[in-house]
Structure 1
């Protein structure tokens, strides 16, 4: 039986056929997307939108491809004509540093003084020069051996005889040539000359004639003229304080005191202090000395002005003072004490062995020790205990390198185991003068000074000799002495500033100080 039922119907086929069941087709309207897909299938035929325009020319498929290309090109032209350029940030110009970096990586013509690119051989257009051209100016650096050789130094640098004489004369009118420091650096500029057969003229000359003065000679209107250029200098004394620690010498040097002034400091105090027994690690040293600081940064160190050592309540102060044309150190009360012999003839030493019988460290048996031993670093300076004449300086068996000084009146001192000498036999020395350096020559177990004192040819204990001479200031001298001492005590400890910085600092502080006074 044949039949059809709407909806979920069952189709009954004829006999011998297979029965099938299914849903009746939907009668809904197709969507917009479905219609577009259907249109694309109808236009493309086989579904390929990419058409080879070189094949089947004139066919429907070819025309479809040509129309597609024309539409795409027209759309691009139509849209592009109506688009405006996108704004962008302007590119900044190269800085001089960037230009140098860029030129090193670029290729430029040789005419622009480029160091890149390919160098070509000269053509027939190039003509050789008759002579090599000279530079218009030449800068020369020379060193002045002695102030009196100014003219000779300029001549050796290539300056003409006439200009060298004129420049030396101008300098001599400004400062004494003998006062110019040996080794002064001369900055010389030589100008253009008419031909190579004559010396170059002097265009300018500049050098430091003194610590606080610079001279400049320049050519103006065909003549050499001199100009003085003052250099500001901070002349305030420099004060350095610190703790003795394990070694007075090392601590003072580490604090910035020059070696020469450390030796002078120890010498000034050695008449009143036994550095081996009276100075502990906690003692405080105070040193003031002449010091000059130029605005250009150079420094110059002068004499020791003040020496002090505080040993926990026991404070010794010594200040340099001139009396009767002679400089010497006076204590805070205005008294100068000079002993016949220095107690410590070596800087920064410690007493390691006394005078008398002892067990010899090398020989192994007891024998008389005719002096005292001071342990000190190798190379430490050894000072003459008093003024006198060098009686012997040379090797002396177990003493090693040995110096003996005769001081007159039957007194003599001897110094053994030196590393090297600073004096020779027959030479006269002053008290505190360096005569040699600590070593370990001869029969010695390590660096030290063996120090002996002879009275009428017989060895005596150096620590047993005590004789002094005293000078006391009074009246106006004492008042002036105490006034100067008070001024030195006002100096602050620490580094100094250059004159330029000090002026700027004072100007910056002035407004604040005025405000503080107004508040008060």
Structure 2
């Protein structure tokens, strides 16, 4: 998750959402598997000879520049040998020697003697999982993983596109993962680099993850249904888990939101140069055809294969710099150029959305960007002008279960007051 936040923060997001317009708590959804539901605490019970808990006080310690865990623990009053023993006790759960600048630990001290009796280390940034290290019956340190008990409450949110989604995410209480997941529902339908318009609206039903005891909201989780209205056209996606535990999003007719190709090889970016038969080249200083699309993005931004296929080239290729080409079938191919790093090998099969490289500026490039080309029957083609079919719909054997799911969750989505008064027609399947 941390890496995902770093990735998203590198790019300029063109889609945005205005202030949160409406929010309500709705009835619990039926049981369903979710990809991010926290596991229950499976730690072993405490030993029978565990002494009565020592009254303790807690203080937060932040890792400073150049600090090591043993030095930090010594600064808190532990002997060097005790610090080593604590680190070893924690190792099966988490290697404390890998702590980083800015991370925090909770140090627990005996309320009577001020002696360090343990520490607490968060294992995720939401506080749902933590490692607790304490002194055992013989003063040796023992460690265990503890899970906070949580409750999932579906929430419906609605909003309007105005400025930057990234700028307003804190007001909405959305994380980077929520933003990417929301766009991901529609990434085959809407190119968030080129098609987003001011005034577009959205509605979404997702889990609100609450602390079971205090009711504190920890985060928003799985998206169960979403609607995005782009330039007056409605796109909807309903999450459905089939009998083989495969997860997908489908519209009301049971057609998958997935298509043969993603709308863009980058999740969020902006187009700096489009497909053109005649463009002045900034490096060569002459007019020539621009047979692809340039996406401006920060160096290191992940580049995804737009569809499943076989890597037919992975290496350096003249002005393209570090270059990857994927053959999707006998008719379609795509290529990704000026990469800083290549993540695939020639002959390898890649799936739709799989990492093929990172944005760079190798070859004839004035700065970091992705040069993307799309080929039909071997010829250069404007990818943005193409339309592709959807993938397989809901199987006949799943239709009844899907319809039951749809009947329960669709009202939670459509009954939410819309972000504006427009009443566009749903997109056709």
**Normalised TM-score (structure 2):** 0.57
Alignment deviations for residues 306-337 of structure 1 (CA, whole Å, 9 cap, x no partner): 43322354221213221242111112443214
CA contact (8 A) 2:129 2:145 kept: no
Task: Please state if 1:266 is matched with 2:183.
Answer: yes
Task: Please state if 1:425 is matched with 2:345.
Answer: yes
Which deviates more, 244-253 or 358-367?
244-253
CA contact (8 A) 2:186 2:257 kept: no
- Structure 1: runs of 5+ lacking an equivalent: 1-136, 146-153, 172-176, 191-201, 494-520
CA contact (8 A) 1:389 1:407 kept: yes
Q: CA deviation at 1:272?
A: 2.0
Match of 2:234 in 1: 315
Alignment deviations for residues 182-235 of structure 1 (CA, whole Å, 9 cap, x no partner): 979685769xxxxxxxxxxx9955647982688686768999999998745353
Match of 1:336 in 2: 256
Task: Please state if 1:474 is matched with 2:393.
Answer: no
Q: How does 1:447-462 map to 2 (within 5 A)?
A: 448-455=369-376, 457-462=378-383
Match of 1:122 in 2: none
Match of 1:94 in 2: none
CA contact (8 A) 2:188 2:259 kept: yes
Q: CA deviation at 1:456?
A: 5.0
CA contact (8 A) 1:308 1:317 kept: yes
Structure 1 residues 480 and 155 mapped into 2: Cα distance closer, same or farther (>3 Å)? Answer: farther
Task: Please state if 1:158 is matched with 2:82.
Answer: yes
CA contact (8 A) 2:156 2:206 kept: yes
Match of 2:277 in 1: 357
| Partner Cα distance (2:106, 2:375) in 1 | 55
- Compute the RMSD of aligned alpha carbons: 5.4
> Could you say which structure has the higher strand fraction?
2
Task: Please state if 1:370 is matched with 2:294.
Answer: no
> Counterpart of 1:342 in 2: which secondary structure?
coil
Q: How does 1:68-467 map to 2 (within 5 A)?
A: 158=82, 205=118, 207=120, 211=128, 231-237=148-154, 241-245=158-162, 255=172, 257-275=174-192, 278-290=195-207, 292-294=209-211, 295=214, 299=218, 302-311=221-230, 313-323=232-242, 324-351=244-271, 353-362=273-282, 363-376=284-297, 380-409=301-330, 411-418=332-339, 420-421=340-341, 423-426=343-346, 428-444=349-365, 448-455=369-376, 457-462=378-383, 463-464=385-386, 466-467=388-389
Alignment deviations for residues 257-286 of structure 1 (CA, whole Å, 9 cap, x no partner): 433443343332122224455421221234
> Counterpart of 1:373 in 2: which secondary structure?
strand
Structure 1 residues 355 and 380 mapped into 2: Cα distance closer, same or farther (>3 Å)? Answer: same
Match of 2:408 in 1: 483
Which deviates more, 299-308 or 218-227?
218-227
Could you say which structure has the greater relative contact order, defined with CA pairs below 8 angstroms and 6 or more residues apart? Answer: 2
Q: CA deviation at 1:433?
A: 3.3
> Counterpart of 1:335 in 2: which secondary structure?
coil
Q: CA deviation at 1:475?
A: 2.0
CA contact (8 A) 1:242 1:255 kept: no
Q: CA deviation at 1:296?
A: 10
Match of 1:113 in 2: none
| Partner Cα distance (1:298, 1:180) in 2 | 29
CA contact (8 A) 1:214 1:231 kept: no
Q: CA deviation at 1:478?
A: 1.1
| Partner Cα distance (1:229, 1:421) in 2 | 39
Pairs aligned (count): 332
Q: CA deviation at 1:351?
A: 4.5
Q: CA deviation at 1:471?
A: 0.6
| Partner Cα distance (2:190, 2:416) in 1 | 25
Q: CA deviation at 1:452?
A: 0.9
CA contact (8 A) 2:131 2:143 kept: no
| Partner Cα distance (1:477, 1:296) in 2 | 32
**The structure with more radius of gyration:** 1
> Could you say which structure has the higher helix fraction?
1
> Counterpart of 1:476 in 2: which secondary structure?
helix
| Partner Cα distance (1:484, 1:215) in 2 | 39
CA contact (8 A) 1:244 1:251 kept: no
Q: How does 1:12-91 map to 2 (within 5 A)?
A: none
